[in-house]
Structure formats: C-alpha cells, structure tokens
Amino acid sequence: MTSTAFCIGGDLKVRRLGFGAMHLPTEPGHGRETSLAIARRAVELGITLIDTAYLYGGGANEELLAEALHPYPDGLLITTKVGVARSGSSGAWKLDGRPAVLREQVEQALRRLRVEQIDLLQLHRIDPDTPLADQVGTLRDLQTEGKIGRIGLSEVTVDELNQAREIVDIASVQNRYNLLDREHEPVLTACETARIAFLPWRPVAWGKSGAKVEIASMATELDATPTQVALAWLLGHSPVILPIPGTARIDHLEENLLAERLEMTPVHRDRLDNLSAVA
C-alpha cells in the first residue's frame, strides 16, 4: 500500500498530498473570502503541507494564508520561496539571489507568515548572475541564525543539487514534473537516493490529445477523475514525491484528496508509465 506520509529532512512529518496556494485570489472581495475558506478547508481535511512563495502576489499569498490559518495548528507546514524580485522601473519579476535580497525576503516572509522560523524555505530559482555558493550559503547562515529550519531548492539540475548539498543539507526539491512531463526524472532519482522530498509543481498538466484520451479512459474504468488518476500515479511512482496540486474551488480540493484512495493495478500503472513516451 502506498504510504500517505513522508518526513521532510528526516524529521518533519507531513501528509504526502499537499496543497499549492498559488492560484488563490488575494484581492479584497468575494474571491478573497473564497480563498480564505479554501485554505481553512484544506487544513480541516487533514492537509499538513501548503506551498506558497513571495512571487505569488509579492507576498500577498503569504499574508492570505496567515489571515486564514494563524495561529497555525500543530503539524501544519507552510513552505515558502524566495529569490525572485521586481526589478527596474518596469517592476518586472526577475531572478535575484543576491545575499542581501534573500535576507530581506526571508525577514519579510517571517513577518507576513507571523512566525519566528520558516520550517522549510526554498530557493525559488538559482540566479545565474550570483554564485550558487553565495545563494545557498546565505540560506545556510539564516538557518544557523534560527530563521530557517530546513532548506530546499526549486527547478534545479542534478549537478546544481549536488553542488548545493556540498554546502548545506537540502531537504526538498521542487521541480516541474507530472505524468506526461518527466524531464526531471534524473533529479527525482537523485532525491530518492538521498531521501530528499520531491515536490512536483504543475503536477496534473496534460499533454497531447492521445495521452488525454488514455487518461480519460482509465479514469472512467476506475470511477475517478483524470486529475485523481494523475495524482495517484505520482503518489505511487516514488515514495519521495509530495504532490501539491492547487485549486481555487473547494470541490476540486476535496476531489484531489480522494486520489490517495485510488487503487491501481500493475497493469494500470504500466499503461500510465508508457504515456510519457507519446506525450
């Protein structure tokens, strides 16, 4: 039977199927009220891993989660990301991993989330204009200071992961990955070997029409939704995968969690395993 829990960093136990908050509207009004209700419902349903980032509204998403859930229940992990900032007169977003920027973003995240320590802080992307050692070293220093509990990376190669691990323990990797997009399979394999949590973003994206038909057909066979099939495949594909599907609808949130109960035969899994070759 597929395990429903994982210990990030070896000691931080979470439910493997989490929630990505990126798509929650944060502007005042009905949309925001719905977002607050969704975040609260996620916790009511037993979700213990919620993913956000400074990039999501320049911190507005973090503030939304704090409004909805603070004081946080025991066992709830809200992980956020830093390393992307607005630049120049246009205010366009760009990668920015300079130590001073990372420090400031972590300080602001602590304030917005209303915590003294971020249990899992992830570098949103590696800034190619700043030495990797400076970026990861800054997070290591913040960890030593007690402001970060565990450190993660996002959208990295195996080589970048290895370089970072020479500087500090890496607890998680968040790369694009799903049933039909397995470009980062080597990174997943590296995470399995080191027991590093692998949080796939865009976990249920669809590919070409032929693959969509196959997934829809299997969903009908299993009395499930295509999204549930995709999430169940991820949960069974590797024990270190922690999917974080996002939604702005409570009914979809509830449907997603039922993927944990979806039972697939080896034949079903073989059919899905072969889809990436045609996607």
3-class DSSP assignment, residue 77 = strand
pLDDT at residue 272, as a whole number? 94
CA dist., res. 22 & res. 269, Å (int): 29
CA dist., res. 21 & res. 210, Å (int): 30
**pLDDT means per 10 residues in the chain (279 residues)?**
90 98 96 97 98 97 98 98 85 94 98 98 97 98 98 98 98 96 97 98 78 90 95 97 96 96 95 75
CA dist., res. 228 & res. 243, Å (int): 11
CA dist., res. 132 & res. 176, Å (int): 20
pLDDT at residue 279, as a whole number? 44
Half-sphere exposure of 164 (CA within 13 A, CB side): 28
pLDDT at residue 152, as a whole number? 98
Pairing of strands 148-154, 77-82: unpaired
Neighbours of 139 (CB within 10 A): 29
pLDDT at residue 209, as a whole number? 63
3-class DSSP assignment, residue 81 = strand
Catalytic residues: 56
Nearest to 184 by CA among 211, 160, 167: 160
Q: Which amino acid is at 123?
A: L
The CATH classification number of 5-206+233-246 equals 3.20.20.100
Half-sphere exposure of 81 (CA within 13 A, CB side): 30
Question: Would you kindly state where each structural domain of the chain is located, as residue ranges?
Answer: 5-206+233-246
pLDDT at residue 69, as a whole number? 98
Rounded alpha-carbon distances, angstroms, from residue 166 to 137, 154, 162:
10, 17, 7
Backbone angles phi, psi at 260, to 5 degrees: -60, -30
CA dist., res. 144 & res. 235, Å (int): 33
Strand partners, 73: none
Nearest to 187 by CA among 224, 147, 253, 240: 240
CA dist., res. 243 & res. 232, Å (int): 10
Pairing of strands 49-51, 77-82: parallel
pLDDT at residue 212, as a whole number? 85
pLDDT at residue 175, as a whole number? 98
Backbone angles phi, psi at 12, to 5 degrees: -105, 95
